[in-house]
Amino acid sequence: MPHRFVCQLVERAMQGGYDVYIHAASREEAETLDTLLWTFRDISFLPHAAIDAAEDLNSYPVVIGWAGQTPPARRVFVNLADAAPAAVNDYERIVEVVPSDPAARRQARARYKDYRERGLELHSHNIGAARA
């Protein structure tokens, strides 16, 4: 998973005034992202909290969770898990980062189909292999 690219996406969403929930595939991936959000820029960090580490998640612009957690209300949902989120219609925007490997692309196609069947308006952006 291109975690640095995820951090860049989250940073852009925050700059646009959006609050973000990152749905990691596992707790381990959430911990990797937690560390990277503190360090991916030399002179700054993205304020965030793990879903199980803060009492008042509303005071953080970015919250990181994983399967089995109930996501807080946010405008942007960044899905890094294999399945589409259950409450997909509760979010203003859903971001899917699709790595270039064939297995990940098959899973992404299944999620895309699921989103389309739920009646969501879908937009694809090919950012190219340079950022992966």
Helix ranges, the chain (H): 3-15, 27-39, 102-117
The gap between the terminal CA atoms of the chain, to the nearest Å, is: 8
Residue 1 banded pLDDT, cuts 50, 70, 90: low
Angstrom CA distances, 115 to 31, 44, 100, stand at 27, 35, 20
Q: Any residues with CB less than 8 A from the CB of 50 and at least 6 apart, and which?
A: 30, 31, 34, 63, 64, 65
CA distance 45 to 84: 28
pLDDT beyond 70 at 132 = no
Mean pLDDT, rounded, for 38-52: 87
Give the mean pLDDT of the chain.
86
Angstrom CA distances, 124 to 32, 41, 95, stand at 26, 27, 10
pLDDT beyond 90 at 16 = yes
Residue 24 banded pLDDT, cuts 50, 70, 90: very high
Mean pLDDT, rounded, for 56-80: 89
Of 31-35, 53-57, 119-123, minimum mean pLDDT range: 53-57
Of 16-25, 74-83, 84-93, 99-108, minimum mean pLDDT range: 84-93
